[in-house]
């Protein structure tokens, strides 16, 4: 069992928001989103990019529909602390995923887990790779959800499988291949 961080203070997506994201579905949204670092609030469309990425994952991965996920948009400093504590690496990273801390009681839709994404790293990577920040945020959200769904990149075969699924999910959102190395390709924005 993993000792996961306390991610209290999340807000469930509002059911009356008609922006094309998962919270427009009937019934309660399975996504809890917390913006824990103010610069995220200046990135117009960040919330929608995260929710659209969740929707795209639900459409492409069996067994995650209706499962609650908490997503925190945070900072390099916060994620570096979590990375040091839980992975033994005292440095920031772009995204961390934490499965539920304990096996849930028998439920139809057990929680999927928690995802934390670091603002400064996302912005630095997006700029360095000449990608729109929202596309990169959507990619990292998909990456985190895939980890929670049991995918990993510990082996070449696992990495290939995970990257191919990421490509497929992002393509369904009209976001080009995040692993493409062609410099003339300009990724579409999330919107």
pLDDT tens digits for 7-57?
Answer: 544 445 543 344 444 444 444 568 999 999 999 999 999 999 999 999 999
**Where are the chain's structural domains?**
21-171
pLDDT, residue 184, reads: 44
Mean pLDDT, the chain, whole residue set: 83
Nearest to 67 by CA among 101, 28, 16, 98: 28
Question: Which residue in this structure is represented by tokens 């991610």?
Answer: 7
pLDDT of amino acid 28: 54
CB atoms within 10 A of CB 94: 22
- Give the Cα separation of 34 and 107 in Å (integer): 25
Report percent pLDDT > 90 for the chain.
65
Write out the DSSP string of 141-158. HHHHHHHHTT---SSHHH
Helical spans, DSSP H, in 149-184: 156-171
- State how far the Cα of 141 lies from the Cα of 96, in Å rounded to an integer: 10
CATH among 3.40.50.1980, 3.30.200.20, 3.40.50.620, 3.40.390.30 for 21-171: 3.40.390.30
> What's the confidence (pLDDT) of residue 66?
86
pLDDT at 189 > cutoff 60: no
Crossing angle for the helix pair 133-148 and 46-60, to the nearest 10 degrees: 40
Report the Cα 155 to chain-centroid distance in Å: 21
């Amino acid at each position: 069992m993993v000792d996961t961080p306390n991610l209290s203070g999340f807000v469930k997506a509002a059911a009356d928001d008609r922006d094309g994201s998962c919270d427009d579905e009937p019934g309660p949204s399975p996504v809890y989103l917390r913006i824990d670092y103010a610069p995220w609030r200046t990135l117009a469309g960040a919330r929608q990019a995260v929710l659209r990425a969740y929707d795209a994952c639900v459409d492409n991965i069996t067994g995650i529909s209706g499962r609650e996920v908490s997503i925190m948009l945070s900072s390099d400093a916060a994620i570096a602390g979590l990375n040091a504590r839980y992975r033994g690496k005292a440095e920031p990273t772009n995204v961390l995923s934490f499965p539920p801390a304990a096996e849930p009681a028998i439920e139809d839709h057990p929680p999927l887990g928690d995802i934390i994404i670091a603002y400064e790293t996302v912005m630095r990577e997006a700029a360095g790779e000449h990608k729109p920040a929202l596309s990169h945020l959507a990619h990292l959200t998909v990456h985190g959800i895939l980890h929670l769904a049991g995918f990993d990149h510990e082996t070449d075969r696992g990495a290939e499988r995970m990257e191919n699924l990421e490509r497929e999910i992002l393509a369904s959102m009209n976001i080009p291949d995040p692993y493409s190395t062609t410099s003339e390709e300009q990724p579409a924005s999330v919107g």
